Copies of this chain bind each other. A is one copy, B any other.
Amino acid sequence: MAVVFIRHLPQYIGDRVTIEGWLHLKRSSGKIQFLQIRDGSGFVQGVMVKGEVDPEVFEAVEHLTQESSIRVVGEVKKDDRAPSGVELTLTQVVLIHPAHDYPITHKEHGVDFLLDHRHLWIRAPKQRAIIKIRAEIIKAIRAFLDSHDFTQVDPPILTPSSCEGTTNLFHTKYFDQDAYLTQSGQLYMEAAAMALGRVYSFGPTFRAEKSKTRRHLIEFWMIEPEMAFATHEDNLAVQEQLLEHVVAHVLAHCQVELATLKRDPARLVPVQAPFPRITYDEAIRLLQKDGHDIKWGDDFGAPHETVLADKFDRPVFVEKYPTAIKAFYMKPDPERPEVALCADLLAPEGYGEIIGGSARIDDPDLLMKRFEEHLLSKEDYAWYLDLREYGSVPHAGFGLGLERTVAWICGLEHVRETIPFPRLLYRLYP
């Protein structure tokens, strides 16, 4: 009898199947035992009735402990009340390996305890659901980009220097040289866009920031698309279509996981393009009207972003920030050079900026001027300056923060649960 994955059980209704997995939860009414079995692909309830199975098997099941590994045989029955759509009538339960005193019980545990046991915590239904949705989000992002003429390009993780100072960078010795862990692959992706037109990266990035907020990780994953011959408008259109596609994919493929997380899908249904757009100027006025002490030229803090995002039922673009508070490579608006052709995309419900993007400076003279203003090394970045020497073109791109996107779509309180093994301030274990 072939071993079947729990998620495929609805295809086996009426059949006797074998499942290999772990005992997640057990309750008993004396005569009937209910086993919640998990195999990684899903959860299913197995039912064992006294008198209908070998008494020794029934007796052994009574002593089965949480997270013991088991092999069970049972008949698949349709059950519309079950999240999996089926139930198993168990006839055999074989213990593979017992688990004694599994540390994560079905009681409440503190976050530090859970993070110390992250290698086990990921077995919990909620954590498994998050990892599953994260994987589906990744799949949807890649499917969208692959089908829109983008080519994946992997920028380097070890880089020789940083454009914006080394204070927030992780340093390592690279043989006789100094190297830093990448904060963003963007500059490399600009080189790649000149070679392949439309490109995207998908990889880890690092910020050695001593900040402890619910929105920050030390190690996090970014998707950074970059497009040759693209404008600010093209850039926003790709972003909103991409996110519309991602949310629709999750709604279509992750109903069970969203239910596990008690995430109301209705909050995600409005996420359709076009997204609302407000300018930085308008945002400042809105905040001032709401009584915030902020003036033109200031950057937004997390509370400001939340106030702005709360005015909309889907992500909102805040565009054209002052050039002075944005990165050196952003292209100024030709009609109003004090603002940049850039936008941050703020997620609803207080999840903050999930995308930052801009048109990039394509004029070699202006880029050189910016290098001088920002005291950047023309030698370290000679290769980047080369991109404007040899067939410079208008281009634009953006960076999507994976973990914040997962946090928002899953409706999580803290970004630490969005990644299998979070790296937080002072936390490097397991």
Binding site for B on A (CB under 8 A): 3, 5, 7, 20-23, 39-41, 67-69, 96-100, 102, 117-120, 122-123, 127-128, 131-132, 134-135, 138-139, 142, 146, 149, 151-160, 170-177, 179, 181, 188, 191-199, 203-204, 206, 208, 210, 218-219, 221, 228-229, 362, 383-384, 386-387, 389-393, 419-421, 423, 425-426, 428-430
Given A97-B362, A119-B191, A391-B68, residue A196 in contact with residue B158 (CB < 8 A): no
Contact A149 B204, CB 8 Å, known A154-B420, A160-B429: no
- Bound Cα distance from A187 to B155, whole angstroms: 25
What are 11 pairs between A and B in contact, CB < 8 Å? Answer: A20-B229, A22-B391, A41-B197, A102-B390, A120-B386, A134-B152, A139-B142, A158-B218, A171-B172, A175-B208, A192-B420
Q: Considering the chains assembled together, what is the distance between the CA atoms of A208 and B176 in angstroms?
A: 12
Q: A158-B428, A420-B188 are in contact. Are A393 and B131 (CB under 8 A)?
A: no
A390 and B67 within 8 A (CB): yes
Q: How far is the CA of A96 from the CA of B390 in the complex (A)?
A: 11
- With the chains together, A419 CA to B155 CA distance in Å? 9
Q: Which of B176, B195, B419, B420 contacts A127 (CB 8 A)?
A: B195
Copies of chain A in the complex: 2
Contact yes or no, A196 B142, CB < 8 A: no
Q: Which of B96, B383, B426 contacts A177 (CB 8 A)?
A: B426
A393 touches B218 (CB 8 A): no
Q: Are B154 and A423 in contact (CB under 8 A)?
A: no
Q: Are B429 and A192 in contact (CB under 8 A)?
A: no
- Asked whether, in the complex, the Cβ of A428 is within 8 Å of the Cβ of B177, the reply is yes
Please name all residues of chain B whose beta carbon is closer than 8 Å to the beta carbon of A67 when the two chains form the complex.
390-391
Other than A123-B195, A156-B219, give 8 A-B pairs with Cβ distance below 8 A. A21-B197, A39-B197, A96-B393, A117-B383, A134-B152, A154-B221, A174-B218, A383-B429
* Smallest CB separation, A3 vs chain B (Å): 7
